[in-house]
Structures are given as structure tokens and as C-alpha cells.
């Protein structure tokens, strides 16, 4: 099996990754929202739009 991040051979300890570094890169992608499962549920779309708007307003407030 090859590592999904760098395509090197995976190791038993970090499977499916080859190293801790590649496992951390993958985790970072999940945490930053680079990986997402699409939804067609209108409630999910509305909630995402509300969250984005709230984040934008919060970013504009002086600290």
C-alpha cells in the first residue's frame, strides 16, 4: 500500500501513511477543511452560510 500523501510505501506503525509527518499533513488537511463531504441538504447549506457570515463579522470587529 502506498502513502496517500507522498506515494511512498506505507509502514506498519503509521498505516496507511509512511511516516508521522504524512499522517500529520493529512490530519491538518481535515482540520483546515480541505477535505469535506458534500451535502445537498438545504439546512446544511444555510447553516454553513450563517457560520461564514458570523466569522466574517467577527473578523471585522476591532480587538
Q: Which residues are annotated as a binding site for Zn(2+)?
A: 3, 6, 18, 22
- Residue-by-residue DSSP string for 6-39: T-SBP-TTTTTSSSHHHHHHHHHHHHTTSS----
Binding residues: 3, 6, 18, 22
Query: Measuring CA to CA, which residue among 42, 23, 41 is closest to residue 31?
Result: 23
Amino acid at each position: 500500500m502506498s502513502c496517500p500523501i507522498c506515494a511512498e510505501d506505507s509502514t506498519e506503525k503509521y498505516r496507511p501513511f509512511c511516516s508521522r509527518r504524512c499522517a500529520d499533513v493529512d490530519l491538518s488537511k481535515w482540520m483546515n477543511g480541505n477535505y469535506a463531504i458534500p451535502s445537498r441538504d438545504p439546512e446544511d447549506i444555510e447553516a454553513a452560510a450563517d457560520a461564514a457570515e458570523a466569522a466574517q463579522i467577527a473578523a471585522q470587529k476591532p480587538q
